Chains A and B, each alone.
Chain A
């Protein structure tokens, strides 16, 4: 899994590429919590994600709640059908704001 962070006016855009699984989710978690720790809202771009497992989803949940605690937002963008099914398993599709594109995501956190 690779990741890329870029700073936009409204907040950070974190883009992941590859699989988020037991091996790689600790990295994803670290990146997300770092961005949240910098006090801005975050758009997580999942368009490059092939597979995301529960440990990846758990990292998203933790980062989201940490953001909310700091009065920030964290939204998901370009969620694949596969990832959406995984989120739906634990009814997290109702928890996260899920946007069609990074642009929509930036609008949502703006």
Chain B
């Protein structure tokens, strides 16, 4: 059952593990149609993990997830393939295949999912490369590009199918401020022109405040809050405040635990002087 007809993503009580380690500890989250949802949180808080689960790439421990109205536990191969066509992904590393040209990389999803005419596909990828300001670079190999250019090419590949939902993991990390800001503008444009729903993980506060319709703040596998930019900015939650203001966490350090971590030696409480 859809809770809201206009939700493209509905996650309820998602729990996930890597090995024995619990990573996401009961995450409940909706993403509305046509909104930009920014996910923030400290390093290791589970942002990329959450994104990978939303893309149905990983096996969860428990909880439910609906993507574009479909329960991902009940997908046939065919459903999964159809769903993947409507989802674009720009990963944290922005990996391109090094043996292929930039153009071939961007064209890959079209080859995989459509039988469009070659000319149509070529124009489509060149338009997308123009959009990320890489016009004319399609014949170069990834090794001939800068890091920022590779990220932009990967972004072009993520949007080449005009996906309904776009997932971006730190799209502007490592880009110069001008290019990063242009990427923010592009994300806004994709929402407005294509009605794309976009989930963006970012550490850049300025970028988050510029593009977000809503922000989810993750902390150690829990959701601290979900709210508009103003709600997050004005939050009285101490941990949200610390995250936004880059307050280091050592104020409330547990010394016993810390020493045990450093030495691997456990000291029983009663023996401590």
Contact = CB atoms under 8 A, between A and B. Distances in A.
Interface of A: 22, 25-26, 29, 53-55, 57-59, 61-62, 82, 85-86, 88-92
Contacts, number: 57
Given A54-B160, A54-B162, A57-B127, A85 B192 contact: yes
25 contacts: A22-B85, A22-B114, A22-B116, A22-B161, A26-B120, A29-B117, A53-B162, A53-B194, A54-B127, A54-B128, A54-B160, A55-B116, A57-B127, A58-B120, A58-B124, A59-B120, A61-B123, A62-B119, A85-B192, A85-B193, A88-B193, A89-B131, A89-B189, A90-B127, A91-B130
Interface secondary structure of B, over-half rule: helix
A61 B120 CA distance: 9
A14 B127 CA distance: 24
Interface residues of B, number: 22
Between B85, B120, B194, the greatest number of chain A beta carbons within 10 A of the residue's beta carbon is seen for B120
B130 A90 contact: yes
A90 B131 CA distance: 6
Nearest to B113: A22
Interface in B89-120: 113-114, 116-117, 119-120
Nearest to A53: B162
B117 A26 contact: yes
